[in-house]
Amino acid sequence: MKTTGTENADRANFPQRPAASPFTAASQSTTPFLSSGPVVGSEAFAFRPAPPNAPQTTPSAPQTTRPYLSSGLMVGSEASGFRPTQPVRYNDPSIPRPPSSFVPPPTGTLQHHPTPQFFSTAQAPPPRTSPGQPVFPPPIRAPAGHVPSPPVYLHSQPQISSGQMGSPPQSINYVPSGRSVPPSSSDSLFSAPRSTLQPLQSAFPGYSSKSPNAVTQPPPVQSAPVFTHQGGYGPPPPATSTPFLAHQRGYVPPPPVAAPPAFYSREQMQHQGSGLPMGAVQGLTEDFSSLSLASVPGSLDPGLDSKVLPRPLDGDVEPKSFAEMYPLNCNSRYLRLTTSAIPNSQSLTSRWHLPLGAVVCPLAEAPEGEEVPIVNFATTGIIRCRRCRTYVNPYMTFTDGGRKFRCNICALLNDVPGDYFAQLDANGRRIDLNERPELTKGTVEFIAPAEYMVRPPMPPLYFFVIDVSISAVRSGMLEVVAQTIKSCLDRLPGFPRTQIGFITFDSSIHFYNMKSSLTQPQMMVVTDLDDIFVPLPDDLLVNLSESRSVVDVFLDSLPSMFQDNVNMESAFGPAIKAAFMVMNQLGGKMLIFQNTLPSLGVGRLRLRGDDLRVYGTDKEHTLRIPEDPFYKQMAADCTKYQIAVNVYALSDKYTDIASLGTLAKYTGGQIYYYPSFQSSIHKEKLRHELARDLTRETAWESVLRIRCGKGVRFTTYHGNFMLRSTDLIALPAVDCDKAYAMQMSLEETLLTTQTVYFQVALLYTSSSGERRIRVHTAAAPVVSELGEMYRQADTGAIISLFCRLAIEKTLSYKLEEARSSIQQRIVKAFREYRNLYAVQHRLGGRMIYPESLKFLPLYGLALCKSIPLRGGYADAQLDERCAAGHTMMALPVKNLLKLLYPNLVRVDEYLGKASSKPDELNISRLPVTAESLDSRGLYIYDDGLRFVIWFGKMLPPDIAMNLLGEDFATDFSRVILSERDSEMSRKLMEILKKFREIDPSYYQMNHLVRQGEQPREGFFLLTNLIEDQVGGMNGYIDWIQQIHRQVQQNA
């Protein structure tokens, strides 16, 4: 028996326990493990830092162990059973603990191990009272009257094979062994009981050292597992020991230590609001998660159940402790650090292995009520440090009676200008603190005085460069674009200063005179592409409010004007040049609608296409970089003149996004890619995204700089922008949907400060014509321990940086190398982490990783399977790859994580319910794997960029009928989901609308897919089920195992 038998035994025992249980006084449950996922957040379980000698219970207290709670699906179902027991209190011995369920880990197990020192300190006052009077030192209280409640036993695992525990000793395994009260029996269950004991013991040195004293203690001491077992058996023996102790000592009365196997993560303890001050706990605990991966010797079972693997089903979980530590910091939607603990030495940095840096989204949309306060230092001028130019912020300290302030970044003592002077109160705080948002808020906006302007604030300017070649007309693009622009004219920001202009092009370039006195626009055609010139000095770019009627007429007639155009050429390059010449006095946004591969004039591109032979060779990356230097040069010029370029690529053929995208990449713009655009299908998407692009609040002619404290320096910047000097990011236009990442390095070998401060400053012109400076300030502690760095890590920010680094790597290396670099860094980081703890805890065969990084492998896998990085030639079209790459370079953290690990939800049950309203929509996310798909269900897959609606084969026909009407039997590729006259259809549309509202930056188009309908199903859904093995790519389990193996090599 490979230990698994014990679990079977447990299972047999558990159900009986409640009934047979003679214990009525108290039931104590310890939960050695709670996996991540919903459980952690939602359940305030009986988690508490149970000191090793704590769970000494009275004989009548049944103790149930809950060694393992799996995450994911199981947890979800379990949760309901557990909820009632949630309220947990300590130091209330009289109240029984709730019995909780014991779910034998199917195969893999995850554990949170507190470090020994935590235990030793947490139990500092050993709760040992008089020998005859055992108490639970910090008993956990469950709702009263819960005592007899049966332990919820949940075990739905089909396979109990899970022998994996055998070889790597781990706490969970002991539990069962301990249960078998007669030691001999336990021996029989365990192949090597003795060996299993050791790790745990060594894990609690303090505890083992105490045990000898305790041995003689008369109080009935029982280990949790034993107790549960006893529950089944009848009256509990006076004292039972934890299995390992018993084994080792030959079953001497054990130390008053019971069931130490409960390991809690700090998060969980926080959740409970334990009596200990958070700070203390943080200082004392070292926690990590581990995953048992070893397979049973001789068994074919892979040894790992996919259900136990950590999954971010709650979406992005930001580290909380950071914000709690520094409440004055700006919100994490503006600035996220990859780890909130800055290493104090270069050697420490080199052991971190993950990127050290920040992700900045300077204009992130603030929810209602959290608007950024605006500060106007009209006469004083903006208060800044005179040496490092840091803006005044909450971390600046005022001294000398308020006459001086010390810069938090460079520590220089500055004079306070007379107008800004305020006295200090007894605590050294300025008496006017409450009226000064810049001294109390991490995010403020300053009104910039004239010194911050090289010219008067520019008006919002939109210039449209529209392809009118035959394919643009045929696909319906022209019509949709004209309609959308027209519908947005009233909502363009910056009325009444907004400027607008148009150029259309095919093989020649057409300018339009929009002078306000005209009744309809005059078209001027320039055919000389080699020496392009602007036919009119002005009136090509007009004030929208004045020329509104002309613009309206133009947009109305645009589709019909080129209705019969049969021109197939595209003078894309010259058109951009012309637009540049018109715009360069003011700057602004250039929106290019492109439908045909540029074929004439400068910047013409050839069909270098997806050459299969190039893949896998050293030349592979050249496909992903612009072919013609014209594009990069043009982008540089545009940035210089404050022009941002947004490219809408709608071609049905190869259009060399790699080249076109360069324009957007270096001007802070955006690429929108609509492969094979057909207005009947993509109309809504283009309309929504164009409207959003035109109407969202935009910051013009801006520059971004991030400052940080002495000794740290930002070295590399990643995203869509151009660097103006070494650390100044030039952004002709920036909006809430763009984020930028940067990496930092330590300049000095040793940091002496306690805290490092970061300040992001964005100087921009708002659409209303005000020059403003948005300042985000944050502080982070400096640490000397690697463990602390890992504990404070932020997976979202790390993945954001990984993503950008990997995509940049694909521009100069093979895809394979970009993928393996991600894997290598994850492996290195985990290996380093393992070295920190594994030896100490003898967790030989287990995979361990910090709690904060539990999703890192999954996101890493998702990243490797994301469109820009996945597979090879056949797995994604080159254009799609490049477009996705450009998009992902700019996505804010939350959107990126959603794209990497999409929402998969089942909706047919919800739709079937008669009364439910959309508000009650409470659909839990499912793991993104084919196993989650039930052929009787209807699922929505939402990655933030699109919806895939999957119809199971055995979906009740009435649902499909209700949703699709007559179309349900036809080919889904041509079916458009629209609202029909049925409750169900309305509900579905309601759901989709709600999902869209969550993330308005892109329009999620519906793709209907029927199970088994190839190749659509494969293309839209199956290749995107990132946990599955698709093509040559690993599934989640294989990936984890691969990482684990690599971690162990040379560990």
Task: Assess 877 for contact with another protein (CB under 8 A).
Answer: no
Alpha-carbon gap, residue 614 to 814, rounded angstroms: 10
Choices 228-236, 298-306, 450-458, 775-783 (CB under 8 A): range interacting with another protein: 450-458
Nearer to another protein, 517 or 1049 (CB): 517
Alpha-carbon gap, residue 941 to 933, rounded angstroms: 11
Alpha-carbon gap, residue 694 to 700, rounded angstroms: 13
Surface-to-core class of residue 383, CB atoms within 10 Å of its CB (0-12 exposed, 13-18 middle, 19+ buried)? buried
Alpha-carbon gap, residue 397 to 293, rounded angstroms: 51
CA 88 to chain centre: 30
Task: Assess 753 for contact with another protein (CB under 8 A).
Answer: no
Task: Assess 1015 for contact with another protein (CB under 8 A).
Answer: no
Task: Assess 449 for contact with another protein (CB under 8 A).
Answer: yes
547: tokens are 């020329």
CB of 579 to another protein, least distance (A): 16
812: tokens are 């100069």
* DSSP class of 488: H
CB of 586 to another protein, least distance (A): 6
CB of 551 to another protein, least distance (A): 15
CB of 454 to another protein, least distance (A): 9
Question: Residues 363 to 382: which contact another protein by CB under 8 A?
Answer: 376, 378
Residue 750 bridge partners (DSSP) = 345
Task: Assess 860 for contact with another protein (CB under 8 A).
Answer: no
Alpha-carbon gap, residue 458 to 742, rounded angstroms: 29
Of 222, 162, 212, 163, the residue nearest 28 (C-alpha): 222
CB of 638 to another protein, least distance (A): 17
CB of 456 to another protein, least distance (A): 4
Are the C-beta atoms of 644 and 732 separated by less than 8 Å? yes
Task: Assess 543 for contact with another protein (CB under 8 A).
Answer: yes
Among 92, 419, 528, 538, interactor with another protein by CB under 8 A: 538
Task: Assess 1044 for contact with another protein (CB under 8 A).
Answer: no
> x-or-dash pattern for another protein, window 713-752, by CB under 8 A?
----------------------------------------
Written as one string, the DSSP assignment of 199-266 is: HHHHH-HHHHHHHHHHHT--S----HHHHHHHHHHSSPPS----HHHHHHHTSPPPPS---TT----H
Among 770, 785, 934, 1038, interactor with another protein by CB under 8 A: 770
Helix (H) or strand (E) holding 789: helix 786-791
CB of 699 to another protein, least distance (A): 16
Q: DSSP strand E in 818-922: where?
A: 846-849, 903-906
Nearer to another protein, 459 or 857 (CB): 459
Choices 446-454, 746-754, 799-807, 829-837 (CB under 8 A): range interacting with another protein: 446-454
Among 52, 169, 256, 457, interactor with another protein by CB under 8 A: 457
Nearer to another protein, 454 or 566 (CB): 454
DSSP helix/strand/coil, 938: strand
CB of 532 to another protein, least distance (A): 16
750: tokens are 């040793």
Alpha-carbon gap, residue 790 to 288, rounded angstroms: 9
186: tokens are 């336990």
Nearer to another protein, 383 or 1026 (CB): 383
Nearer to another protein, 22 or 449 (CB): 449
Choices 197-205, 442-450, 803-811, 822-830 (CB under 8 A): range interacting with another protein: 442-450
Task: Assess 437 for contact with another protein (CB under 8 A).
Answer: no
Alpha-carbon gap, residue 572 to 377, rounded angstroms: 47
Helix (H) or strand (E) holding 745: strand 740-746
Nearer to another protein, 194 or 455 (CB): 455
Choices 274-282, 449-457, 740-748, 897-905 (CB under 8 A): range interacting with another protein: 449-457
DSSP helix/strand/coil, 869: coil
Task: Assess 459 for contact with another protein (CB under 8 A).
Answer: yes
# of chain residues touching another protein (CB under 8 A): 22
Among 194, 320, 403, 455, interactor with another protein by CB under 8 A: 455
Task: Assess 497 for contact with another protein (CB under 8 A).
Answer: yes
Choices 207-215, 306-314, 543-551, 994-1002 (CB under 8 A): range interacting with another protein: 543-551
Residues with Cβ within 8 Å of 913's Cβ and at least 6 positions away in sequence, in order, are none
Task: Assess 808 for contact with another protein (CB under 8 A).
Answer: no
> x-or-dash pattern for another protein, window 377-416, by CB under 8 A?
-x--------------------------------------
> End-to-end alpha-carbon separation of the chain, Å?
30
500: tokens are 């607008």
CB of 906 to another protein, least distance (A): 53
* Amino acid present at 1002: Y
Output the CA angle 51-52-58, nearest 5 degrees: 90
Choices 50-58, 90-98, 451-459, 972-980 (CB under 8 A): range interacting with another protein: 451-459
Nearer to another protein, 495 or 873 (CB): 495
**How do beta strands 443-447 and 374-375 pair?**
parallel
CB of 728 to another protein, least distance (A): 20
Among 453, 553, 636, 976, interactor with another protein by CB under 8 A: 453
Helix (H) or strand (E) holding 826: helix 815-841
* DSSP class of 69: -
DSSP helix/strand/coil, 550: helix
502: tokens are 């148009």
> x-or-dash pattern for another protein, window 169-208, by CB under 8 A?
----------------------------------------
Task: Assess 283 for contact with another protein (CB under 8 A).
Answer: no
CB of 377 to another protein, least distance (A): 10
Query: For the CA atoms of the chain, what is the radius of gyration?
Result: 32
Task: Assess 637 for contact with another protein (CB under 8 A).
Answer: no
Task: Assess 609 for contact with another protein (CB under 8 A).
Answer: no
Phi/psi-derived region of residue 163, left when phi > 0, alpha when psi is between -120 and 50, beta in every other case: alpha
CB of 698 to another protein, least distance (A): 17
Written as one string, the DSSP assignment of 97-136 is: PPP------SS--EEEE--HHHHHHHT-S-----TT----
> x-or-dash pattern for another protein, window 545-584, by CB under 8 A?
xx--------------------------------------
CB of 425 to another protein, least distance (A): 29
Choices 206-214, 335-343, 541-549, 618-626 (CB under 8 A): range interacting with another protein: 541-549
Task: Assess 588 for contact with another protein (CB under 8 A).
Answer: no
Question: Residues 664 to 703: which contact another protein by CB under 8 A?
Answer: none
| Furthest-apart CA atoms within the chain: distance in Å | 104
**Phi then psi dihedrals of residue 864, to 5 deg:** -65, -25
CB of 450 to another protein, least distance (A): 4
Residues with Cβ within 8 Å of 140's Cβ and at least 6 positions away in sequence, in order, are 28, 29, 46, 48, 88, 89, 90, 97, 98
Tell me the CA distances in angstroms from 483 to 283, 464, 686, 688, one per residue in order. 61, 13, 11, 12
Q: DSSP strand E in 901-974: where?
A: 903-906, 938-942, 946-951
Task: Assess 49 for contact with another protein (CB under 8 A).
Answer: no
Task: Assess 447 for contact with another protein (CB under 8 A).
Answer: yes
Task: Assess 25 for contact with another protein (CB under 8 A).
Answer: no
Binding residues for another protein (CB under 8 A): 376, 378, 447-450, 453, 455-457, 459, 496-497, 538, 543, 545-546, 585-586, 769-771
